[in-house]
Amino acid sequence: MPPAENTGHPRRWAILGVLVVSLLVVVLDTTILNVALRTIADPVHGLGASHGELEWSVNSYTLAFAGLLFTFGVLGDRAGRRRMLLIGLVLFGLASLASAYAQNPTQLIAARALMGAGGAAVMPATLSIISNVFDPRERARAIGIWAGAVGLAMAIGPILGGLLLEHFWWGSVFLINVPVIGLGIVLVALLVPESRDPNPGRVDVVGVLLSVVGLVTLTYGIIDGGEHGFGRPVVWATIVAGIVVLASFVAFERRSSHPALDVRLFREPRFAVPVALIGLVFFAAMGVMFFSSFYLQMVRGYSPLQTGLIFLPFAVAQLVFAPTSASMVRRYGPRAVSVVGLLLAAVSLAAFAFIDAVTPIWVVLVFFFIQGAGMANIMPPATESIMSSLPREKAGVGSAVSNTIRQTAAALGVAVLGSVLAAGYRNGMAPTLEELPPGARESAGESIAGAYAVAGQLGPAAPQLITAANDAFVSAMHVSAALAAVITVGGALVALRWMPARPGAAVPDPVGEPELAGAA
């Protein structure tokens, strides 16, 4: 029988608000860049970034984020989660300044990697603190709000980015982080209590290095193949090397006495299945969001602000459905809620396989709303299942694993689906490129943004090139979207087979001294 007394922190709801503010800016930055990609690719108003450099500007952030989550989750459990949260916010703010004033794509990619490192310190700390300041009976609701904030930030990122680009230069999408970070630092210092694992393990340096090297190598091979073709042996050698290093990481973690990732956790279905679901849905969703911004701005001709507003139904659906997902799980069970959410997401992703240059925009709005509703009912039950399968003192580990899988899947989604898109576009443009001057072929064949830049110099021949680029891009988008939908349906089948039908009981906290420091 659960205890009558609420064991949560007296200021837990105010603390949740502070954590949401801290989280918003970190997650916001995973999508705010999307509407700025076209501007950054512009050689006049941006940095003249290539398609591969654009992918790396997205993936340097997510890879650093994913690669360091293990370490920062463990360090937060050891040294204090509030302390790690504050360190992460400071690093994120400084890296945002560096990104805003980058002078070339290489500087932007490096600064974005530093932002990812800051985000890796922030995100696991927020979820760990929630697990510690809330009573288990309220934790599902709190995590639902937390997950809703993740979805909301993903959705409002393009809107805010478009608004800024209407009035300021491309660096403003990073500069906006600085005042929010400043507010977050003050509120965290004033309100959030310190907490830590009373029995922390050692930091697994070898495991962390293997995970980072493996992820970066694998993703580099995928991006390079998408940009320059998969017919070269060096591409497959890089991809295989990445897989081998990641396999070595898993083997090392199984033998380590202090693993960064305890692979034994994946023997528990309540932990392993929701982790897999989160990975699959973010793989598909982030890849589609990467190319949908180009579709809206290039093929359809919308401004950055208009593009951001088209993402608004996604945000509305998150606001409506995420806070109620906990009650839906209690009523229908995590299996039913997750399967329905994944199928809704699959329908919305599959829609992009049929959308073309003349599809009424209201159709796109409807499917963005469906996608938001689907994802709003995947994240909360999956996250709650992960966190409730572990005791409180291991909250940092659970948070680090779930967020690492999410960020890694997002990075690979952009890399894989972006590479499929790039390869399809390049093949579709092959006949048209033969008619262009030699100097223009490489730019026009690399990306749709490059084709539009070349068209501006062709005069009367420009409309023909733009039409060919639009057709090639839409055809490639159809293939990428269909692949994303298939992957999401696979997630629904996984949930139907292995997700528990009813909510499981939370793992009891160990008897002993309370973990919360300053709980009074």
Residue carrying the six token digits 């380590």: 256
Cα 503 off chain centre by = 26
SS3 content of the chain, % helix, strand, coil (to 5): 80, 0, 20
d(CA 153, CA 370): 17
Cα gap 57→30, rounded to integer Å: 10
The answer to whether the CB of 161 falls within 8 A of the CB of 304 is yes
> What pLDDT, on a 0 to 100 scale, did the predictor assign at position 151?
65
CA pair distance 402, 65, nearest whole angstrom: 12
Query: What pLDDT does 514 receive?
Result: 32
Query: Rounded to two decimals, what is the model's pTM?
Result: 0.72
* Contacts with 213 (C-beta within 8 Å, 6 or more apart), sequence order: 245
Q: Where are the alpha helices (DSSP H) in 295-333?
A: 304-310, 312-321, 325-332
pLDDT at position 518: 32
Name beta bridge partners: 195.
516
**Who contacts 212 (Cβ-Cβ below 8 Å, separation ≥6)?**
63, 67, 68
CA neighbor of 403 nearest in space, from 204, 147, 195: 147
Distance CA(338)–CA(431), nearest Å, equals 45
> Measured between alpha carbons, how far is 465 from 244 in angstroms, rounded to an integer?
42
Note the pLDDT of residue 69: 72
Query: With contact defined as beta carbons under 8 Å apart, do 356 and 305 qualify?
Result: no
C-alpha distances out from residue 224 to 112, 149, 284, 329, 347, Å? 19, 33, 20, 42, 30
Write the CATH number of the domain with boundaries 12-203+260-498: 1.20.1250.20
Give the C-alpha separation, 256 to 77, whole Å: 19
Contact 221, 102 (CB under 8 A): no
Q: Are 139 and 506 in contact (CB under 8 A)?
A: yes
In sequence order, the 6+-apart residues with CB closer than 8 A to the CB of 460 are none
Identify how many contiguous H helices and E strands the chain contains and give both numbers. Answer: 21, 0
- Amino acid making up residue 128: S
pLDDT tens by residue, 214-246: 877 887 777 677 666 677 888 889 989 989 998
pLDDT of the residue at 496: 86
Dist. CA 346–CA 378, nearest whole Å: 12
CB 230 within 8 A of CB 236: yes
For the chain, the C-alpha Rg in angstroms (whole number) is 22
For the chain, which residues make up each domain, given as ranges?
Answer: 12-203+260-498
pLDDT below 50 — which residues of the chain? 1, 505-520
Residue 8, C-beta contacts closer than 8 angstroms, at least 6 positions apart? 133, 134, 135, 138
What gap in Å lies between CA 143 and CA 164, rounded to an integer?
30
In the structure encoding, which two tokens stand for residue 241, read together? 């090397």
> Alpha helix (H) ranges present in 377-394?
379-388
Q: What angle separates helix 448-455 from helix 462-498, to the nearest 10 degrees? A: 170
Residue 237 confidence (pLDDT): 92
318, 151 in Cβ contact below 8 A? yes
The helix/strand/coil state of 516 is strand
CA distances from 512 to 7, 134, 198, 515 (A): 14, 18, 10, 9
